[in-house]
């Protein structure tokens, strides 16, 4: 780093919170060369995760739901690195490059932790090895190619029972993410079936498994019930109050030694903390960081935490703020102002984070959705239009807005893409040797 740099801000994580924090600091210190801002992320793009399910269903082109981080940064230095460990005493973060394994030590004066979370398998046997997560762009593309492969294999198979196993798709988790991907998947497989002459309608199943007594706990009970009944009418199956005991290559094991025979288990059953964050001495028993209302880490001056990796208290409800994009974006903006106050040594400029959730929206496929906005509840086609309008507005950059709009428009008239990209697929067992 330049020798004349006296104040170094290091932001770990390029998600909604990290990017917003960097952009806020850029605006505040746009003409101050003595403040150096560095953003570290293992990917050079931000994933608009709310649209990943539509990548799986071929409704949106994969590259259109990601935003290059460098494109949104002016003064900030971006480094595509993975964080290895954080030395709090020396104020040094050890990082490495994924492909070259070259190591880098980044010093800081002020540290913002915004590293998000990873897929949580909660100790379920075989879940990590055999299920498909949906956390990033690569996950969505791999899953899409796998689903198409199941249809290709089923079309070659003469055994009815084997075809049913190939064409059964189990979604573990009935929360917002699980229902979103299940609904999009149900639309996609219903459409794709017409291209495979040897696939029968009764052989294709989409099953949602959840330990709760209802789906979408983030929504009100009435809207969740509406969504459940609507998706059941479209042929989807639900196994509520059912826990997953294990996942194998050809089944999902549930309670009472029962099995759902499938080659496709999609894991949407929660998250876990980043190991680097969980290893910090001030992380709680769940691996997250409890902060005060200013998002500062208590007894650790100069360190803040935001987004999925932080437990930020909500003074109105007494509960932590939920880990959603609408909260992360606003947390990032507020923490940027608070970091600036610390750099300028003006404690009176610090502001606590306070935000009231605007609402939740959940698409249900077939141009329908459920929405709860500021106490008002909507469902059906109008809610679907609202979902698309709101999320299109949240997409950064006019180029991405135009691309996604065109994708949605063409999706109305053109058939879905069923091209199988084999290089993206997970490794499979070799075909049996010819015994002849």
What's 15's domain CATH number? Answer: 3.50.50.60
Structural domain that includes position 245: 127-269+359-424
Same domain, 262 and 132: yes
**Domains contained in the chain, number:** 2
What pLDDT sits at residue 257? Answer: 82
Same domain, 167 and 311: no
Same domain, 340 and 383: no
Same domain, 19 and 163: no
Give Cα separations from 47 to 51, 190, 288 (angstroms): 9, 27, 22
What pLDDT sits at residue 6? Answer: 77
Mean pLDDT, all residues of the chain? 91
Distance CA 416, CA 193 (A): 11
Among residues 297, 326, 349, the one where a domain terminates is 349
Give Cα separations from 67 to 42, 63, 70, 138, 425 (angstroms): 14, 8, 9, 14, 24
What pLDDT sits at residue 427? Answer: 54
Provide DSSP, 298-323: TT-TTEEE-GGGEE-B-TTTSSBPP-
**What is the tens place of the pLDDT at every residue in 177-199?**
999 999 999 999 998 888 999 99
Same domain, 345 and 395: no
Q: How confident is the model at residue 337 (pLDDT cuts 50, 70, 90)?
A: very high
What pLDDT sits at residue 1? Answer: 45
Note whether residue 247 is domain-resident: yes
Q: Is the pLDDT assigned to residue 429 strictly greater than 70?
A: no
Among residues 349, 376, 402, the one where a domain terminates is 349
Prediction pTM value: 0.91
Beta bridge partners of 132: 266
Distance CA 370, CA 222 (A): 10
How do beta strands 251-254 and 259-261 pair? antiparallel
Q: Is the pLDDT assigned to residue 396 strictly greater than 90?
A: no
DSSP 3-state assignment of 119? strand
Same domain, 230 and 375: yes
Note whether residue 239 is domain-resident: yes
Same domain, 265 and 209: yes
- When pLDDT is averaged across residues 8-25 and rounded to a whole number, the result is 96
Among residues 311, 326, 349, the one where a domain terminates is 349
């Amino acid at each position: 780093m330049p020798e004349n740099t006296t104040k170094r801000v290091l932001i770990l994580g390029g998600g909604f919170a990290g990017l917003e924090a960097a952009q806020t600091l850029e605006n505040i210190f746009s003409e101050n060369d003595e403040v150096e801002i560095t953003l570290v992320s293992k990917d050079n793009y931000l994933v608009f995760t709310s649209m990943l399910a539509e990548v799986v269903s071929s409704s949106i082109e994969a590259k259109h739901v990601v935003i290059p981080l460098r494109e949104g940064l002016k003064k900030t230095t971006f480094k595509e690195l993975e964080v290895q460990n954080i030395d709090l005493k020396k104020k040094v973060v050890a990082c490495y490059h994924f492909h070259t394994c070259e190591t880098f030590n980044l010093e800081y004066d002020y540290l913002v932790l915004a590293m998000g979370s990873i897929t949580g398998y909660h100790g379920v046997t075989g879940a990590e090895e055999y299920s498909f997560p949906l956390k990033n762009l690569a996950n969505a593309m791999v899953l899409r190619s796998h689903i198409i492969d199941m249809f290709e294999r089923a079309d070659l198979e003469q055994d009815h029972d084997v075809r049913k196993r190939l064409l059964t798709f189990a979604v573990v988790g009935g929360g917002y993410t699980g229902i979103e991907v299940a609904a999009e998947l149900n639309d996609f497989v219903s459409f794709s079936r017409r291209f495979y002459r040897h696939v029968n309608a009764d052989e294709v199943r989409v099953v949602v498994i959840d330990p709760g007594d209802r789906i979408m706990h983030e929504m009100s009970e009435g809207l969740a019930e509406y969504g459940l009944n609507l998706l059941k009418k479209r042929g989807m199956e639900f196994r509520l109050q059912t826990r997953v005991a294990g996942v194998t290559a050809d089944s999902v094991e549930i309670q009472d030694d029962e099995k759902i025979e499938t080659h496709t288990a999609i894991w949407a059953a929660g998250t876990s903390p980043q190991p680097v964050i969980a290893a910090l001495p001030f992380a709680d028993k769940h691996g997250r960081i409890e902060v005060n209302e200013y998002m500062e880490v208590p007894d650790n001056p100069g360190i803040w935490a935001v987004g999925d990796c932080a437990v930020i208290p909500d003074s109105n409800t007494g509960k932590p703020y939920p880990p959603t994009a609408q909260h992360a974006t606003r947390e990032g903006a507020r923490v940027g102002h608070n970091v600036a106050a610390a750099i300028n040594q003006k404690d009176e400029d610090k502001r606590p984070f306070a935000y009231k959730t605007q609402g939740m929206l959940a698409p249900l496929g077939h141009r329908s959705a459920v929405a709860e906005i500021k106490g008002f509840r909507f469902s059906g086609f109008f809610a679907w239009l609202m979902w698309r309008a709101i999320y299109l507005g949240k997409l950064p950059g006019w180029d991405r807005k135009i691309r996604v709009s065109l994708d949605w428009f063409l999706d109305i008239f053109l058939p879905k893409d069923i091209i199988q990209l084999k290089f993206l697929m997970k490794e499979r067992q070799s075909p049996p040797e010819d015994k002849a």
